[in-house]
Amino acid sequence: MPSLHYISHAVALALIAMLIRKYIELKIYHDDVMSSCYLSETNHENSEVENEIEHETPPKAPVPTSDDPRFLTPEYLNQKLFSDGSSVTCNPTDHAAQRTCHFVNLCYFAERDSYLFFHSDKSILENIPVNRYSPTLVELSSVTNHTYNHFNYIDMPVSASRLFHIKWVTTSSLIIRRFKPDNLMHVIHDDILPLFQTLRHFNLAANTSDRFHYRLIFDDEWGEGPFLKLYDILSVYQPIFKSMLREAPGLTCFHQAYVGLVKSTAWYDYGFYKPQGPLPERKVSSVEINSLLEYTRRELGLSINTDNSDYLVLISRKSTRLILNEIELSLALSREVRIKVIHLSQEQYTIEQMIEVVSNSIGIIGMHGSLLTLAMYLPAGSILIELFPYAVNPDHYTPYKTLVSLPGMNILYRAWRNMEQKKSFGHLTMGNIEYLPHDVQQRIISQMEVPRHICCDDPSWLYHIYQDTQVDIETIISLTQEAILATKTENNRALDKIATNFVIPDKVTHDSCKTMVDGSKQIIIYWEIPWNLQFFNYETVEYEVLLQYTKSPEKSTIFRVSANSITLEPSDSFYIVWVRCSLDEIHVGPFKQIACVE
């Protein structure tokens, strides 16, 4: 018979084996729970955030009956996905560039670098085009008609969702793709303004004084970039970068995801298919821009006092497109214009500091470049003087001129162009013209003006725009003095008036129709300007006059006049006259009918 010692030893080994097995089971269970909770969030203030991806043990709570964020546990969300699948609702439009979509249970699959849509008998698909690949479902950026920004999803049966480990982002999310986050023009124009407008469109703030309650998802390959602060202040949550999503195993599912940006704030076309220039149908004005400025200054805690503005800002570049006599220009401006000059560079100032300095100045002088976008922060009645290297025509590159010329901005713009080649110093490495044949290099260098071109790698453009320049100090001083004087004398035509980009003139008023008594029997029609225009700031007013004849109703004549009257020749029938007002050649009011007889 086995001794008691052997029996005790066997029992001990069995107990140890059982404990090891139990430990392994518990470890597997623990890992599954942690995996399910990866990225989940039920209470932002109390959750433990690690690298902006949240881990949270499911609370012991009743089974939820709604989408109350307090109840959005991974188990609940998993069951909702397994039973209901995904859903999507888009705004009704035939154009991908104008489409925005709201997804429920949209999932990112890192292994395929794709988004998955799980179809069930409860899935809702509203306003989805029949062919969502023509050209795409949604664009992830406000930069339109660029394949880099196309977004779509892969169709999957809901049963397949059970095959994955799932991590949840429970906060409302907005998925975007930054175009060039190292360039301030692209950051403001392509991302920040459209983001701000989109967030207000979807009403993702608790009230107007709050930061927005959503999480920004950067679906791009960029890192943070030098202007991340401008993105951060738009949300109570830190953004999630694509590199973070790729590190997460299985699926990362977004309980509520918004895709696509409102593009009504764009003002410039970068020229991917035709030479760059202002968008022909711009809808943005100082109203939208000032809303963002007020929000930005508040969230950054900036001190703004424009009553005592006593300095100009000179944009200082440190690597290319240099002002070679920058110090001399600065001293001359101080001496001749009698104003302090502050040199501003991206290398020496944070974005918050740059905004604050510009916001308290009377204007900016600088070479063509992205920091001139800071002009949007200038007080009304300020100046922007843009300098251009040799052979670069200011009329062909106008993103900053267009910005400060938007309705209601009231910033005076002037441009200076170097016309002396001997005062320009080029770099063969720019535009890679050093690799071109020598005769082609010389032809580019000797050009007096860069030919029109499309974006973005034209060698002539790149060579000339990156030239360093010895500027004409005397001319720039005269330009500055003239611009400052103009802002004082013109007072920018009632700066407190509202921009007119959404203003429609009312009907003309106090109309009358009179026949001349001098024997000519000519008919003179008078009217007065629509009464509501006295309250708005506008550039031009014209009138469209439509004549119809009662004896020949199919016959009509249209006149366009700038005066508030028109003289008509005699007719053998009644005139039916229709008059309407056109504001700034864009905004047309309703017709007013006037009956006249010879």
Is there a single domain that holds both residue 248 and residue 284?
Answer: no
What residue type is assigned to position 219 of the chain? D
Is there a single domain that holds both residue 435 and residue 524?
Answer: no
* Nearest-angstrom CA–CA distance, 560 and 547: 11
Is there a single domain that holds both residue 404 and residue 441?
Answer: yes
Is residue 446 a part of any domain in this protein? yes
| CATH (domain of 536) | 2.60.40.10
Beta strands 523-528 and 509-515: pairing type? antiparallel
What residue type is assigned to position 466 of the chain? Y
User: Of 498, 518, 544, which one is at a domain's C-terminal end?
Assistant: 498
Give the pair of three-digit tokens for residue 19: 């404990």
Task: Judge if the upstream peptide bond of residue 135 is cis by omega within 30 degrees of 0.
Answer: yes
Is there a single domain that holds both residue 464 and residue 434?
Answer: yes
Q: Residue 576 sits in which domain range? A: 509-594
Is there a single domain that holds both residue 400 and residue 444?
Answer: yes
Is there a single domain that holds both residue 182 and residue 288?
Answer: no
Is there a single domain that holds both residue 404 and residue 527?
Answer: no
- Spell out the per-residue pLDDT of the chain, length 598, in tens: 445 555 565 556 566 656 555 554 544 444 443 443 434 433 333 333 334 444 333 333 344 444 565 678 999 999 999 999 999 999 999 999 999 999 999 999 999 999 999 999 999 999 999 999 999 999 999 999 899 999 999 999 999 999 999 999 999 999 999 999 999 999 999 999 999 999 988 887 655 557 888 999 999 999 999 999 999 999 999 999 999 999 998 999 999 999 999 999 999 999 999 999 999 988 899 999 999 999 999 999 998 886 778 899 999 999 999 999 999 999 999 999 999 999 999 999 999 999 999 999 999 999 999 999 999 999 999 999 999 999 999 999 999 999 999 988 999 999 999 999 999 999 999 888 999 999 999 999 999 999 999 999 999 999 999 999 999 999 999 999 999 999 987 654 444 445 555 678 999 988 888 877 666 678 888 899 998 888 777 778 999 998 887 777 777 788 899 999 888 776 666 668 889 998 877 778 999 988 765 5
Is there a single domain that holds both residue 478 and residue 412?
Answer: yes
**CB atoms near residue 245 (< 10 Å):** 20
| CATH (domain of 487) | 3.40.50
Is there a single domain that holds both residue 158 and residue 190?
Answer: yes
Tell me the torsion sign for CA atoms 470, 474, 477, 482.
negative
User: Of 498, 529, 551, which one is at a domain's C-terminal end?
Assistant: 498
Q: How far is CA 333 from CA 181, 328, 365, 522, 576, in A?
A: 33, 9, 11, 61, 62
H or E stretch at 462? helix 459-465
* Nearest-angstrom CA–CA distance, 91 and 310: 48
Radius of gyration of the chain (CA): 32
User: Of 197, 231, 264, which one is at a domain's C-terminal end?
Assistant: 264
Is there a single domain that holds both residue 245 and residue 291?
Answer: no
Is there a single domain that holds both residue 431 and residue 468?
Answer: yes
31 - beta bridge partners?
Answer: none
Is residue 350 a part of any domain in this protein? yes
Is there a single domain that holds both residue 530 and residue 550?
Answer: yes
Is residue 402 a part of any domain in this protein? yes
Domain count, the chain: 3
